[in-house]
Amino acid sequence: MAPARKSRGTRVRRTGLAGRTGTVLLAAGIGVLSPASVALPAWAQQSSVAPEAGGYFATPPPVDPGSLPSDDGKPDKTYEQKTSCVKRSELDKGVELKNRPWGQDYLQIDTVHKLMRGANNSVGGGVTVAVIDTGVTPHPFFQGRVESGGDYVGPRTNNTPEGLEDCDGHGTEVAGIIAGNPPDPSTGFKGVAPDAKILSIRQSSQNYEVKKEDTPPATSSSGAPPGSSSSAPPGSQLPPQSNGAVGGRPADADGTAPGQDKGRQQEQGGTAGTLTTLAKAVIRATDKQAKVINMSVDNCRAATGAISKGEKELQAAVNYAVERDVVVVAAAGNVSENCPQNDQADPNMPKMIVTPPWFADDVLSVAAIQKDGSVADFSVHGPWISVAAPGTEIISLDPAAGSDGLANLTFDGSGKPGEIQGTSFAAPYVAGVAALVRAKFPDLKARAVMERIKATAQHPAAPGGRDNFVGFGVIDPIAALTASVPAEKAQPVQLPSDMPPADDRAKTPMIVALAGTGGGLVALLITLFVVHSIRRNRAVATPGRKTP
């Protein structure tokens, strides 16, 4: 009997070990799979990382209506001209008048024009686009559709009307992309909305600086005094004179250095243009009944510290415009020494902030793509990017006073001619499309126009159909003018009392509940396994008893 008792005792001890093992497994199963410790997918988790005090932030604070500045229509400082205005130049590379810019073909602008003429008998007629820039020269290709809007730089040479002197040669090229209309139909270049009106507001200039006492005589970058025939934009030199041609016509001895490939930064180097005057210009354009505003100027700063006074003023101004039914379009900004690329690991924690694109709730900010469809390397990335448009190898109007041709080259800092490029020239493509949408759908409010342009863009292969490089994608003018956008037709409908409420709650509680249910199920299976093992071991320990 002793051996039997020993054997039974051993089996009992073995059964106790199985029970303890089952208990441990059960506790481990419940512990690992309990709702409190379930590992949720990244998109279902609330971020536990708070931004540093006054540190990085991708979205601005709420609009402060009290920050809206009063528009007096005057410069904020006294500026004087330091560099000669651009003049017609001979460049080594002429523009073939019959050739269309690649961006024009990429966006199928000619087809868009046919569509609009068939539907409206005009292409953007009746819509005024405010160009807040360096001024707009009344080029013949505007056919008298440029109006004086204001001047925050002054004084002007030759007593030209406010806003109708473009000393830098930037605003005219921007306006040309929007509304240029060559009288010769064989000319390839055409503006996106060639029947629209341009309201020109001169707000900035890199050729003007804050006036100082005892300053040396103004000189051009080539060392010549203002008015000299060898003038060029800041930091550039003219090449040796030859008998070249620009715009398919003989070039004068004077030179055009059209365009700026470095962007138009506000509040840098003492040149004319601040965020405060930019805000005032937005208010002025709104009050003058513009339906679209184009700003190919911006301010770039490190994403640290609180929002500045000028930023608050500009934020309030663009909100003022949109709330009064104005579509606001802005260039996304160009990478430069003072504005490095947002290439940090977390795209939602930018190291640089660009305004006005930062105010994405009220602004269509435009990135630039190049000829192969990829995003241009100079285009600043950010979570505020709305859409993208062509921004390289630009052809537009020659901005020099008295010119009647086109230009496709500019001078860079080395003095060598180069192509016109930048997000500055991508933005007017979008402003032009916005003008067409406003003409085609006059009842659409500004925000609906902005949403239509984003909804019909060629979305990138990214979560939600957008990324920080091209936003919702490259604009599609034909789709913007023809597509049915469900959001425009949606009307609030009261649900019948027997229908469940809309599922608009957060997903995280449901995920936690499902995870907890799954954990309970696993725990139940483990419990059944342990119970089965215990009962089996007891049956073996009891002779004559059958195992269930």
Q: Which residues are catalytic?
A: 133, 170, 424
**152 contacts 221 by C-beta, under 8 angstroms:** no
The DSSP result for 458-517, as a single string, is B--SSGGG-BTTTBT-B--HHHHHH---HHHH----PPPTTSPPP--S-SHHHHHHHHHH
Which one-letter DSSP state was computed for residue 42? Answer: G
Which amino acid, one-letter code, is at 226? Answer: P
Q: Could you give the angle at the alpha carbon of 266 between the alpha carbons of 261 and 270, nearest 5°? A: 105
Tokens describing residue 537: 């071991």
d(CA 461, CA 330): 24
363's CB contacts (< 8 A; 6+ apart) are 318, 328, 329, 330, 356, 357, 384, 386
Which one-letter DSSP state was computed for residue 191? Answer: -
Pairing of β 364-369 and β 352-355: unpaired
Tokens describing residue 4: 């039997």
**39 contacts 45 by C-beta, under 8 angstroms:** no
Residue 94 Cα to chain centre, angstroms? 32
Which residue is associated with the tokens 């034909």? 478
**How crowded is residue 545: how many other Cβ atoms within 10 Å of its Cβ?**
10
3-state SS string for 122-140: CCCCCCEEEEEECCCCCCH
- Packing angle of the helix pair 508-541, 2-33 (nearest 10 deg): 180
H helices present in 350-494, as ranges: 423-440, 446-455, 477-482, 486-489
